[in-house]
Homo-oligomer: A and B are copies of this chain.
Amino acid sequence: MAEYQAPLKDMRFVLKEVFNSEQEWADLPGLAGAVDMDTADAILEEAAKISNEVVGPLNREADEQGSSWNDGVVTAPEGFKEAYATFCEGGWNGLGGNPEYGGMGMPKTLTGHVEEMLQGASISFGLAPMLTAGACLSIDAHGSDEIKQKYLPNMYSGQWSGAMDLTEPHAGTDLGIIRTSAKENGDGSYTINGNKIFITWGEHDMAENIIHLVLARLPDAPKGPKGISMFLVPKIMVNDDGSLGERNGVSCGSIEKKMGIKGSATCVMNFDDAKGWLVGEPNQGLAAMFTMMNYERLVVGIQGLGAAERSWQSAIEYARERLQSRAPTGAVAPEKAADPIIVHPDVRRMLLTMRAYTEGSRALNHYTAMWLDKSKFGEGEVQQHGEAMMALLTPVTKAFVTDKALDCTVMGQQVFGGHGYLREWGQEQLVRDVRITQIYEGTNGVQAMDLMGRKVVANGGKFVELFAEDINAFISSCGDEMAEFTGPLQAALATLQETTKTVVEQAKADPAIIGASAYDYLHQFGHVAHAYMWARMAQVAQQKMGSDSFYESKLAVARFFYARLLPQAKTHAENIQAGSEPLMALTADLF
């Protein structure tokens, strides 16, 4: 298989040409002076080096070896500990962190691309920094100054890693029914008891301490989601002078045998009279955790993108080298026994579909990151606008991107024929690894419900109108030369607005309509969003045609997307118009 190469040219195309991010950064008061394009370029270069040279080469063997558990001790696959040390030395854990506590304060429009490289190199490895960064976000947003002082600097340095302890055997999607308990000790600390499952990197040997954010219930807490609090529970107690003390009552009971991301440890965590500290207000734990979840959801989309990109890199190399049969239009390599398979239209269909969704996803992730930056570093209306758009787009970038990433990695494997089924080529690993991204941090079904319910119906489609305004403003800025894209984009947007209206209206009388429409709405929305991204990419490409064949190629992929992939949006709209009846007619016992 091709070794992973961070797609720097494509990232810079998005960052500089499709979105003028340097200007965006300069316009945000909270970011003023923190980053310019030269700094960003240097960061991207360095991130590419560590991803390509340090992390990427470990990924295949880590899948074979897996993390291992022995009497509570978890050992990461060979090379992970050293790679993690190198990663920490580079200061990468704190890239997006709060500068007051040692972070670098970079915007998501930059850190998102760094994350793509890391996750493209290895999802199993990338999960450790991802969970740490997410935990830091929650602590920074909700922790007391004392807690931040005590934990954040060592987490930004990577010396201590972070973990997120939500799920219990009987409670995954429905966190309102968790049983882990917390009791106040009277000295500001709490005693935590309970069992958590699916705790990614909940235990390992790469960092000297692990800081758990644990959801638990206080004795007098109301039932359900409004009775959940968040606690910081270190694996090893931290003394007041910052040195490490004794082991806390936190232990790893076992690690799971999984379909993929085998290099990472998915832990069963036991809390036996563990000592913890409240982060945020009592009974506000779910809200506090969601600060982290929203961040994680964007990174999960980025994981999908990274895997799809890696699958593409191997597939295109193979399609150029593998000789099999002749082109339908006549031999192109008559001196050889057969033509390279890239000549076959159906192989091209797979390759172009991979490019269209992968590059569309990269642009969409950046677009969502842009709104996140506005919500974080902007002020007043800009900030509010950013928050609304980020809320709307987060479930789409998580779920649509990862659904398409599965399709892409399956196609990348298919291009290899029988060889794609063998482990040695790495393509099948990407399918297995990417499959988790559709499941964790809220299944894609949950994302679709979140989009349809909380982000669309709950506000009567107001956020969708903000999205439509942005697309319409773009369309208005285009000349006639863009008509081949803006026409279908306008039509696809109009259908999305119709669908939105239908569901908002029907939801008044039919409580099942949100769930019944959710999947199709998310996929209709995703296709419209990709159409918008491809129109923006095509606009840049048109303007630069002739300067570099790179732009010619972008324009061809944009046309392919509009001709062969966008039509699906209509089918999703039609499914939604069919209402909830076809899904709800059958009683549960007749299934």
Contact = CB atoms under 8 A, between A and B. Distances in A.
A259 B431 contact: yes
A172 interface: yes
Given A259-B431, A345-B580, A432-B432, A591 B351 contact: yes
Given A417-B439, A420-B439, A564-B578, A345 B553 contact: no
A586 B564 contact: no
B172 A549 contact: no
Interface in A358-414: 406, 410, 413-414
Interface in A574-591: 574-575, 578, 580-586, 588-591
B591 A342 contact: yes
Taking the full assembly, how many copies of this chain does it contain?
A: 2
Interface residues of A, number: 97
Contact of A348 (B197, B346, B440, B583): B583
A324 interface: yes
B198 A345 contact: no
Interface in A552-579: 552-553, 556-557, 559-560, 563-564, 567-568, 570-571, 574-575, 578
A355 B571 CA distance: 20
A542 interface: no
A324 B418 CA distance: 40
A513 B582 CA distance: 37
A519 B349 contact: yes
A174 B578 CA distance: 45
A501 interface: no
Given A421-B435, A432-B432, A516 B583 contact: no
A556 B338 CA distance: 50
A258 interface: yes
Contact of A258 (B351, B422, B440): B422
A167 B418 CA distance: 10
Interface stretch (A72-80, A214-222, A442-450): A442-450
Contacts of A499: none
Given A257-B423, A439-B414, A345 B583 contact: yes
A421 B436 contact: yes
Contact of A571 (B519, B568, B581, B589): B568
Contacts of A198: 418
Contacts of A330: 511
A86 interface: no
B355 A591 contact: yes
Nearest to A177: B337
A431 B324 CA distance: 28
16 contacts: A167-B418, A260-B421, A328-B515, A342-B591, A344-B515, A345-B512, A346-B519, A349-B519, A349-B583, A406-B410, A414-B445, A421-B439, A553-B591, A559-B585, A563-B582, A564-B582
Interface of A: 167, 170-174, 176-177, 197-198, 256-260, 316, 319-320, 323-325, 328-330, 337-338, 340, 342-352, 355, 406, 410, 413-414, 417-418, 420-424, 428, 431-432, 435-436, 438-440, 443-445, 448-449, 511-512, 514-516, 518-519, 549, 552-553, 556-557, 559-560, 563-564, 567-568, 570-571, 574-575, 578, 580-586, 588-591
